[in-house]
Amino acid sequence: MGEDRLELLGDFPFKRLGALLEGLDPPADRAPILMQIGEPQAAVPTSVMRDIAASADLFGRYPAPAGAADHRRAIADWLGWRYGLGGGAVDPERQVLVTNGSREALFQAALAAAARKRARLPDGARPAVLLPNPLYHVYLGGAVMADCELVPVPARETSGFTPDFASVPAEILDRTALCYVCTPGNPTGTVARPEALEAMIRLARAHDFTLAVDECYSEIWVDAPPTGGLQAAAALDGGASDFSHVLTFNSLSKRSGAPGLRCGFVAGDAGLIADLARVRSYGGATVPGPLQAAAAALWREETHVEANRALYCALIDVAAEELSGLPGFRRPEAAFFLWLDVRETAGDGEAAAKRLWVEEGIKAMPGRYMARPAAPGAAATPGDPYVRIALVHDPQTVRDACRRIAAALSRGRRD
Ligand SMILES: Cc1ncc(COP(=O)(O)O)c(C=O)c1O
Protein backbone atom coordinates (compact mmCIF):
# COMPACT_ATOMS: atom_id res chain seq x y z
CA MET A 1 0.00 0.00 0.00
CA GLY A 2 1.15 3.50 -0.73
CA GLU A 3 1.65 6.28 1.76
CA ASP A 4 -1.60 7.77 3.08
CA ARG A 5 -1.00 11.43 2.44
CA LEU A 6 -4.27 12.55 3.99
CA GLU A 7 -3.21 10.73 7.15
CA LEU A 8 0.21 12.37 7.00
CA LEU A 9 -1.45 15.74 6.55
CA GLY A 10 -3.41 15.19 9.75
CA ASP A 11 -5.85 17.68 11.21
CA PHE A 12 -5.06 21.39 11.08
CA PRO A 13 -3.89 22.77 14.46
CA PHE A 14 -7.21 24.52 15.23
CA LYS A 15 -9.09 21.25 14.79
CA ARG A 16 -6.64 19.46 17.07
CA LEU A 17 -7.12 22.15 19.69
CA GLY A 18 -10.89 21.72 19.40
CA ALA A 19 -10.48 18.00 20.08
CA LEU A 20 -8.18 18.65 23.06
CA LEU A 21 -10.70 21.00 24.69
CA GLU A 22 -13.79 18.97 23.75
CA GLY A 23 -16.13 18.71 26.73
CA LEU A 24 -14.09 21.16 28.83
CA ASP A 25 -15.84 24.36 29.83
CA PRO A 26 -14.29 27.71 30.70
CA PRO A 27 -15.22 29.23 34.07
CA ALA A 28 -18.77 30.59 34.06
CA ASP A 29 -17.87 33.83 35.80
CA ARG A 30 -15.60 35.40 33.17
CA ALA A 31 -15.64 35.96 29.43
CA PRO A 32 -13.35 33.68 27.41
CA ILE A 33 -10.48 35.37 25.57
CA LEU A 34 -9.51 33.68 22.31
CA MET A 35 -5.74 33.87 21.88
CA GLN A 36 -5.15 30.72 19.86
CA ILE A 37 -5.41 32.45 16.49
CA GLY A 38 -3.35 35.30 15.02
CA GLU A 39 -6.29 37.26 13.71
CA PRO A 40 -5.90 41.03 14.10
CA GLN A 41 -8.90 42.44 16.01
CA ALA A 42 -8.44 46.14 15.26
CA ALA A 43 -10.75 47.86 12.77
CA VAL A 44 -9.98 47.62 9.05
CA PRO A 45 -8.78 50.95 7.57
CA THR A 46 -11.86 52.90 6.41
CA SER A 47 -10.30 53.50 2.98
CA VAL A 48 -11.04 49.85 2.19
CA MET A 49 -14.83 50.30 2.14
CA ARG A 50 -14.52 53.55 0.16
CA ASP A 51 -12.18 52.07 -2.46
CA ILE A 52 -14.24 48.91 -2.89
CA ALA A 53 -17.40 50.96 -3.37
CA ALA A 54 -15.67 53.27 -5.86
CA SER A 55 -14.56 50.38 -8.07
CA ALA A 56 -17.52 48.03 -7.56
CA ASP A 57 -18.15 47.88 -11.32
CA LEU A 58 -15.06 45.64 -11.52
CA PHE A 59 -17.11 42.87 -9.91
CA GLY A 60 -18.55 42.52 -13.41
CA ARG A 61 -15.21 41.33 -14.87
CA TYR A 62 -12.92 38.38 -14.35
CA PRO A 63 -9.76 39.60 -12.62
CA ALA A 64 -6.44 39.18 -14.45
CA PRO A 65 -4.91 35.92 -13.12
CA ALA A 66 -1.57 37.49 -12.17
CA GLY A 67 -3.22 40.53 -10.61
CA ALA A 68 -4.21 44.01 -11.78
CA ALA A 69 -1.33 46.00 -13.30
CA ASP A 70 -1.74 48.92 -10.90
CA HIS A 71 -1.86 46.61 -7.88
CA ARG A 72 1.34 44.86 -8.97
CA ARG A 73 2.97 48.26 -9.50
CA ALA A 74 1.97 49.34 -5.95
CA ILE A 75 3.49 46.14 -4.54
CA ALA A 76 6.72 46.50 -6.54
CA ASP A 77 7.07 50.12 -5.42
CA TRP A 78 6.43 49.16 -1.81
CA LEU A 79 9.07 46.41 -1.96
CA GLY A 80 11.58 48.83 -3.46
CA TRP A 81 10.90 51.37 -0.71
CA ARG A 82 10.61 48.96 2.24
CA TYR A 83 13.78 47.03 1.49
CA GLY A 84 15.87 49.91 0.19
CA LEU A 85 16.15 48.31 -3.26
CA GLY A 86 15.52 51.54 -5.11
CA GLY A 87 12.76 52.53 -7.50
CA GLY A 88 12.34 50.14 -10.42
CA ALA A 89 14.35 47.33 -8.79
CA VAL A 90 11.34 45.02 -8.74
CA ASP A 91 9.67 44.42 -12.09
CA PRO A 92 5.90 44.31 -11.47
CA GLU A 93 5.28 42.32 -14.65
CA ARG A 94 7.82 39.55 -14.18
CA GLN A 95 8.64 39.53 -10.49
CA VAL A 96 5.30 40.06 -8.74
CA LEU A 97 2.24 37.84 -8.59
CA VAL A 98 -0.95 38.87 -6.77
CA THR A 99 -2.39 36.09 -4.64
CA ASN A 100 -5.41 35.40 -2.48
CA GLY A 101 -3.56 36.10 0.78
CA SER A 102 -0.19 34.44 1.26
CA ARG A 103 -1.47 31.11 2.51
CA GLU A 104 -2.58 29.48 -0.73
CA ALA A 105 0.53 30.74 -2.52
CA LEU A 106 2.76 29.19 0.15
CA PHE A 107 0.94 25.90 -0.44
CA GLN A 108 1.10 26.14 -4.23
CA ALA A 109 4.79 27.06 -4.17
CA ALA A 110 5.51 23.49 -3.08
CA LEU A 111 3.56 22.10 -6.04
CA ALA A 112 5.49 24.26 -8.51
CA ALA A 113 8.90 23.69 -6.91
CA ALA A 114 8.40 19.92 -6.64
CA ALA A 115 7.38 19.68 -10.30
CA ARG A 116 10.45 21.67 -11.36
CA LYS A 117 12.84 19.63 -9.21
CA ARG A 118 11.36 16.23 -10.07
CA ALA A 119 12.08 16.90 -13.75
CA ARG A 120 15.76 17.47 -12.89
CA LEU A 121 16.29 14.42 -10.66
CA PRO A 122 17.13 10.86 -11.74
CA ASP A 123 14.09 8.59 -12.18
CA GLY A 124 12.60 7.55 -8.86
CA ALA A 125 14.46 10.12 -6.77
CA ARG A 126 12.06 11.96 -4.49
CA PRO A 127 12.15 15.73 -4.04
CA ALA A 128 12.49 16.96 -0.47
CA VAL A 129 11.12 20.04 1.30
CA LEU A 130 12.98 21.62 4.22
CA LEU A 131 10.65 22.82 6.97
CA PRO A 132 11.41 24.90 10.03
CA ASN A 133 10.35 23.04 13.14
CA PRO A 134 8.12 24.45 14.72
CA LEU A 135 6.32 25.79 11.68
CA TYR A 136 3.25 27.37 10.13
CA HIS A 137 1.29 24.30 9.10
CA VAL A 138 0.56 25.33 5.54
CA TYR A 139 4.23 24.55 4.67
CA LEU A 140 3.64 20.97 5.76
CA GLY A 141 0.44 20.79 3.72
CA GLY A 142 2.21 21.97 0.58
CA ALA A 143 5.08 19.53 1.01
CA VAL A 144 2.81 16.56 1.70
CA MET A 145 0.43 17.23 -1.18
CA ALA A 146 3.37 17.79 -3.55
CA ASP A 147 4.49 14.27 -2.58
CA CYS A 148 7.84 15.38 -1.19
CA GLU A 149 9.99 13.98 1.57
CA LEU A 150 9.50 16.10 4.68
CA VAL A 151 12.72 17.31 6.28
CA PRO A 152 11.92 19.19 9.51
CA VAL A 153 14.90 21.19 10.71
CA PRO A 154 14.81 22.19 14.38
CA ALA A 155 14.60 25.88 15.23
CA ARG A 156 15.97 25.84 18.75
CA GLU A 157 16.07 28.59 21.33
CA THR A 158 19.85 28.13 21.62
CA SER A 159 20.28 29.21 17.97
CA GLY A 160 17.83 32.12 18.11
CA PHE A 161 15.09 29.87 16.71
CA THR A 162 16.75 30.00 13.26
CA PRO A 163 16.92 26.55 11.65
CA ASP A 164 20.37 25.40 10.54
CA PHE A 165 19.46 24.25 7.03
CA ALA A 166 23.15 23.80 6.14
CA SER A 167 23.29 20.93 8.63
CA VAL A 168 21.03 18.83 6.38
CA PRO A 169 23.02 16.08 4.62
CA ALA A 170 24.19 17.05 1.10
CA GLU A 171 22.38 14.07 -0.43
CA ILE A 172 19.07 15.53 0.79
CA LEU A 173 20.00 19.10 -0.12
CA ASP A 174 20.63 17.95 -3.69
CA ARG A 175 17.08 16.58 -3.82
CA THR A 176 15.55 19.61 -2.15
CA ALA A 177 12.87 21.39 -4.15
CA LEU A 178 11.92 24.04 -1.64
CA CYS A 179 12.92 25.38 1.75
CA TYR A 180 10.48 27.41 3.84
CA VAL A 181 11.62 30.03 6.28
CA CYS A 182 9.39 32.37 8.27
CA THR A 183 10.76 35.73 9.38
CA PRO A 184 9.53 37.28 11.61
CA GLY A 185 8.70 33.81 12.77
CA ASN A 186 5.35 32.33 13.58
CA PRO A 187 5.23 30.88 16.23
CA THR A 188 8.55 31.92 17.78
CA GLY A 189 8.47 35.71 17.26
CA THR A 190 12.11 35.83 16.20
CA VAL A 191 13.78 37.50 13.22
CA ALA A 192 16.33 35.85 10.90
CA ARG A 193 19.57 37.85 10.80
CA PRO A 194 20.72 39.15 7.37
CA GLU A 195 23.75 36.80 7.43
CA ALA A 196 21.46 33.83 8.11
CA LEU A 197 19.21 34.76 5.18
CA GLU A 198 22.21 35.23 2.91
CA ALA A 199 23.55 31.81 3.93
CA MET A 200 20.17 30.25 3.09
CA ILE A 201 20.19 31.90 -0.33
CA ARG A 202 23.71 30.61 -1.01
CA LEU A 203 22.59 27.13 -0.01
CA ALA A 204 19.51 27.34 -2.27
CA ARG A 205 21.70 28.34 -5.21
CA ALA A 206 24.33 25.69 -4.51
CA HIS A 207 21.70 22.95 -4.46
CA ASP A 208 19.27 24.50 -6.93
CA PHE A 209 16.18 24.78 -4.74
CA THR A 210 13.64 27.55 -4.09
CA LEU A 211 13.97 29.52 -0.87
CA ALA A 212 10.43 30.54 0.15
CA VAL A 213 10.63 33.39 2.65
CA ASP A 214 7.34 33.92 4.45
CA GLU A 215 7.33 37.57 5.50
CA CYS A 216 3.69 38.07 6.43
CA TYR A 217 4.70 39.57 9.81
CA SER A 218 7.35 41.84 8.24
CA GLU A 219 5.71 45.07 9.44
CA ILE A 220 5.04 43.97 13.03
CA TRP A 221 8.39 44.72 14.63
CA VAL A 222 9.70 46.40 17.74
CA ASP A 223 13.19 47.90 17.31
CA ALA A 224 14.11 47.77 13.63
CA PRO A 225 12.47 46.62 10.38
CA PRO A 226 13.40 42.98 9.72
CA THR A 227 15.57 42.23 6.69
CA GLY A 228 13.65 40.65 3.83
CA GLY A 229 14.54 37.87 1.42
CA LEU A 230 14.77 40.17 -1.61
CA GLN A 231 16.93 42.56 0.38
CA ALA A 232 19.29 39.75 1.39
CA ALA A 233 19.51 38.51 -2.21
CA ALA A 234 20.26 42.00 -3.51
CA ALA A 235 22.95 42.46 -0.83
CA LEU A 236 24.52 39.17 -1.83
CA ASP A 237 24.44 40.13 -5.49
CA GLY A 238 25.95 43.61 -5.10
CA GLY A 239 22.61 45.33 -5.58
CA ALA A 240 21.48 43.35 -8.64
CA SER A 241 17.83 42.41 -8.53
CA ASP A 242 17.26 39.12 -10.26
CA PHE A 243 16.65 37.51 -6.83
CA SER A 244 17.73 34.15 -8.16
CA HIS A 245 16.21 31.17 -6.27
CA VAL A 246 14.26 33.42 -3.87
CA LEU A 247 10.53 33.93 -3.50
CA THR A 248 9.05 36.13 -0.78
CA PHE A 249 5.44 36.00 0.42
CA ASN A 250 3.49 38.77 2.11
CA SER A 251 -0.05 40.07 2.52
CA LEU A 252 -2.20 42.79 4.00
CA SER A 253 -3.61 40.44 6.63
CA LYS A 254 -1.23 41.45 9.41
CA ARG A 255 0.37 44.62 8.00
CA SER A 256 -2.95 46.37 7.43
CA GLY A 257 -5.08 44.31 9.81
CA ALA A 258 -7.22 43.11 6.89
CA PRO A 259 -7.15 39.28 6.94
CA GLY A 260 -10.59 39.06 5.31
CA LEU A 261 -9.51 41.10 2.29
CA ARG A 262 -7.48 38.09 1.10
CA CYS A 263 -4.85 40.18 -0.65
CA GLY A 264 -1.27 39.02 -0.79
CA PHE A 265 1.60 38.57 -3.20
CA VAL A 266 4.62 36.55 -4.13
CA ALA A 267 7.73 38.37 -5.39
CA GLY A 268 11.18 37.37 -6.53
CA ASP A 269 12.92 35.20 -9.14
CA ALA A 270 11.09 35.74 -12.46
CA GLY A 271 11.48 32.10 -13.54
CA LEU A 272 9.97 30.80 -10.30
CA ILE A 273 7.20 33.40 -10.50
CA ALA A 274 6.40 32.15 -14.01
CA ASP A 275 6.20 28.54 -12.73
CA LEU A 276 3.90 29.52 -9.90
CA ALA A 277 1.76 31.66 -12.20
CA ARG A 278 1.33 28.64 -14.46
CA VAL A 279 0.21 26.44 -11.56
CA ARG A 280 -2.09 29.18 -10.30
CA SER A 281 -3.63 29.72 -13.72
CA TYR A 282 -5.15 26.25 -13.26
CA GLY A 283 -6.05 26.22 -9.57
CA GLY A 284 -5.45 29.58 -7.95
CA ALA A 285 -8.22 31.87 -6.75
CA THR A 286 -8.00 35.30 -8.34
CA VAL A 287 -8.63 38.40 -6.26
CA PRO A 288 -11.73 40.45 -7.21
CA GLY A 289 -10.91 43.77 -8.92
CA PRO A 290 -12.45 46.07 -6.27
CA LEU A 291 -10.48 44.31 -3.55
CA GLN A 292 -7.31 44.80 -5.56
CA ALA A 293 -8.08 48.52 -5.92
CA ALA A 294 -8.40 48.78 -2.12
CA ALA A 295 -5.24 46.71 -1.64
CA ALA A 296 -3.17 48.84 -4.01
CA ALA A 297 -4.13 51.92 -1.99
CA LEU A 298 -3.12 50.19 1.26
CA TRP A 299 0.35 49.31 -0.11
CA ARG A 300 0.78 53.01 -0.87
CA GLU A 301 -0.08 54.14 2.65
CA GLU A 302 2.07 53.71 5.78
CA THR A 303 0.25 55.76 8.46
CA HIS A 304 -2.15 52.95 9.33
CA VAL A 305 0.77 50.49 9.37
CA GLU A 306 2.63 52.64 11.89
CA ALA A 307 -0.49 52.79 14.07
CA ASN A 308 -0.85 49.00 13.87
CA ARG A 309 2.78 48.50 14.78
CA ALA A 310 2.45 50.87 17.75
CA LEU A 311 -0.52 48.84 18.97
CA TYR A 312 1.39 45.53 18.80
CA CYS A 313 4.43 47.06 20.50
CA ALA A 314 2.14 48.26 23.29
CA LEU A 315 0.64 44.78 23.59
CA ILE A 316 4.11 43.21 23.88
CA ASP A 317 4.93 45.76 26.61
CA VAL A 318 1.73 44.87 28.45
CA ALA A 319 2.59 41.15 28.23
CA ALA A 320 6.12 41.82 29.50
CA GLU A 321 4.81 43.89 32.43
CA GLU A 322 2.43 41.15 33.47
CA LEU A 323 4.43 38.04 32.66
CA SER A 324 8.13 38.82 32.97
CA GLY A 325 8.17 37.18 36.42
CA LEU A 326 6.77 33.94 35.01
CA PRO A 327 9.34 31.22 34.24
CA GLY A 328 9.52 30.59 30.50
CA PHE A 329 8.44 34.08 29.40
CA ARG A 330 10.45 35.59 26.54
CA ARG A 331 9.71 38.90 24.83
CA PRO A 332 9.09 38.41 21.09
CA GLU A 333 11.37 40.42 18.80
CA ALA A 334 8.62 40.80 16.21
CA ALA A 335 5.18 39.49 15.11
CA PHE A 336 2.50 39.27 17.80
CA PHE A 337 2.87 35.88 19.43
CA LEU A 338 4.17 34.80 22.81
CA TRP A 339 5.96 31.47 22.51
CA LEU A 340 5.73 30.63 26.16
CA ASP A 341 7.85 27.83 27.57
CA VAL A 342 5.57 26.12 30.08
CA ARG A 343 7.64 23.08 31.00
CA GLU A 344 8.26 24.43 34.49
CA THR A 345 4.77 25.76 35.09
CA ALA A 346 2.56 23.14 33.45
CA GLY A 347 4.72 20.28 32.17
CA ASP A 348 3.86 20.75 28.50
CA GLY A 349 1.82 22.88 26.12
CA GLU A 350 -1.21 20.59 25.96
CA ALA A 351 -1.51 20.54 29.76
CA ALA A 352 -1.08 24.33 29.82
CA ALA A 353 -3.75 24.86 27.13
CA LYS A 354 -6.24 22.76 29.08
CA ARG A 355 -5.51 24.50 32.35
CA LEU A 356 -5.69 27.98 30.80
CA TRP A 357 -9.06 27.16 29.29
CA VAL A 358 -10.66 25.43 32.26
CA GLU A 359 -9.31 27.68 35.01
CA GLU A 360 -9.20 31.06 33.26
CA GLY A 361 -11.10 30.86 29.96
CA ILE A 362 -7.98 31.61 27.90
CA LYS A 363 -7.67 29.73 24.64
CA ALA A 364 -4.05 29.13 23.59
CA MET A 365 -2.40 26.87 21.01
CA PRO A 366 -0.23 23.99 22.25
CA GLY A 367 3.19 24.23 20.58
CA ARG A 368 2.99 20.53 19.74
CA TYR A 369 0.28 21.27 17.17
CA MET A 370 2.67 23.58 15.34
CA ALA A 371 5.57 21.16 15.15
CA ARG A 372 6.70 17.86 13.66
CA PRO A 373 8.39 14.96 15.45
CA ALA A 374 12.02 15.77 16.13
CA ALA A 375 13.08 12.54 14.39
CA PRO A 376 11.18 10.11 12.11
CA GLY A 377 8.92 7.94 14.26
CA ALA A 378 9.67 9.91 17.43
CA ALA A 379 6.76 10.96 19.64
CA ALA A 380 8.26 14.20 20.91
CA THR A 381 8.31 17.45 18.96
CA PRO A 382 10.32 20.60 19.68
CA GLY A 383 6.99 22.40 20.20
CA ASP A 384 5.90 20.22 23.13
CA PRO A 385 7.10 22.52 25.94
CA TYR A 386 5.39 25.63 24.55
CA VAL A 387 2.05 27.34 24.08
CA ARG A 388 1.51 30.03 21.49
CA ILE A 389 -0.51 33.03 22.61
CA ALA A 390 -1.67 35.64 20.09
CA LEU A 391 -1.57 39.24 21.30
CA VAL A 392 -4.24 40.68 19.03
CA HIS A 393 -6.88 42.24 21.28
CA ASP A 394 -6.97 45.72 22.80
CA PRO A 395 -4.45 46.52 25.56
CA GLN A 396 -6.96 46.18 28.43
CA THR A 397 -8.10 42.76 27.24
CA VAL A 398 -4.50 41.63 26.79
CA ARG A 399 -3.62 42.84 30.30
CA ASP A 400 -6.58 40.97 31.75
CA ALA A 401 -5.62 37.87 29.74
CA CYS A 402 -1.99 38.00 30.87
CA ARG A 403 -3.04 38.30 34.52
CA ARG A 404 -5.23 35.25 34.08
CA ILE A 405 -2.40 33.37 32.34
CA ALA A 406 0.00 34.28 35.15
CA ALA A 407 -2.55 33.19 37.75
CA ALA A 408 -3.19 29.80 36.12
CA LEU A 409 0.45 29.00 35.44
CA SER A 410 1.74 30.26 38.81
CA ARG A 411 -0.83 28.04 40.51
CA GLY A 412 0.55 25.08 38.63
CA ARG A 413 4.22 25.76 39.23
CA ARG A 414 6.02 22.55 40.02
CA ASP A 415 8.46 23.67 42.69
C1 LIG B 1 3.38 32.48 9.17
C2 LIG B 1 2.14 32.75 8.38
N3 LIG B 1 2.24 32.77 7.05
C4 LIG B 1 1.16 32.98 6.28
C5 LIG B 1 -0.08 33.18 6.84
C6 LIG B 1 -1.25 33.34 5.93
O7 LIG B 1 -1.87 34.54 6.04
P8 LIG B 1 -2.69 35.20 4.83
O9 LIG B 1 -3.09 34.11 3.90
O10 LIG B 1 -3.84 35.84 5.49
O11 LIG B 1 -1.73 36.13 4.17
C12 LIG B 1 -0.23 33.19 8.23
C13 LIG B 1 -1.55 33.39 8.84
O14 LIG B 1 -1.75 33.36 10.01
C15 LIG B 1 0.92 32.97 9.02
O16 LIG B 1 0.87 32.96 10.35
Same domain, 26 and 168: no
Q: Are residues 68 and 215 in the same domain?
A: yes
**295 and 322 together in one domain:** no
Give start and end residues of each alpha helix (H) in 146-223: 170-175, 194-206
Q: Total structural domains in the chain?
A: 2
Predicted confidence (pLDDT) per residue in 368-406, tens digit: 999 999 887 889 999 999 999 999 999 999 999 999 999
Q: Is residue 233 part of a domain?
A: yes
**Is there a single domain that holds both residue 254 and residue 359?**
no
Does any domain span residue 47? no
Beta strand pairing call for 246-251 and 362-363: unpaired
**Same structural domain, 341 and 263:** no
The predicted-structure confidence for 30-73, as pLDDT tens digits, reads as follows 999 999 999 988 889 999 999 999 999 999 999 999 999 999 99
The CATH number covering residue 253 comes to: 3.40.640.10
Look at residue 45 and give its three-state secondary structure. Answer: coil
CA of 223 to the centre of ligand 1 (A): 22
- Whether residue 145 sits in one domain with residue 184: yes
Q: Is residue 50 part of a domain?
A: no
Q: Last residue of some domain: 246, 274, 301?
A: 301
3-state secondary structure of 212: strand
Q: Is 176 in the same domain as 83? A: yes
Q: How distant, in Å, are the alpha carbons of 218, 265, 267, 295 from that of 256? A: 11, 14, 19, 9
- % of the chain residues with pLDDT over 70: 99
Q: Which residues form the pocket of ligand 1, taking CB atoms under 6 Å from any ligand atom?
A: 38, 101-103, 106, 136, 182, 186, 214, 216, 251, 253, 259, 264
CA 217 to ligand 1 centroid distance, Å? 8
| Whether residues 87 and 107 fall in one domain | yes
pLDDT digits (tens, 9 = 90+) for 273-320: 999 999 999 999 999 999 999 999 999 999 999 999 999 999 999 999
pTM above 0.85, yes or no: yes
CA of 125 to the centre of ligand 1 (A): 31
How close is the Cα of 112 to the center of ligand 1, in Å?
19
Which residue, of 280, 301, 322, is where some domain finishes?
301
Residue 1 has pLDDT above 80, yes or no: no
Residues 144-169: tens digit of each pLDDT: 999 999 999 999 888 889 999 999 99
Q: Does one domain contain both 102 and 232? A: yes
**H/E run at residue 303:** helix 303-323
Containing structural domain, residue 281? 61-301
Do 18 and 137 fall into the same domain? no
Measured distance CA(143)–CA(229) in Å, rounded: 21
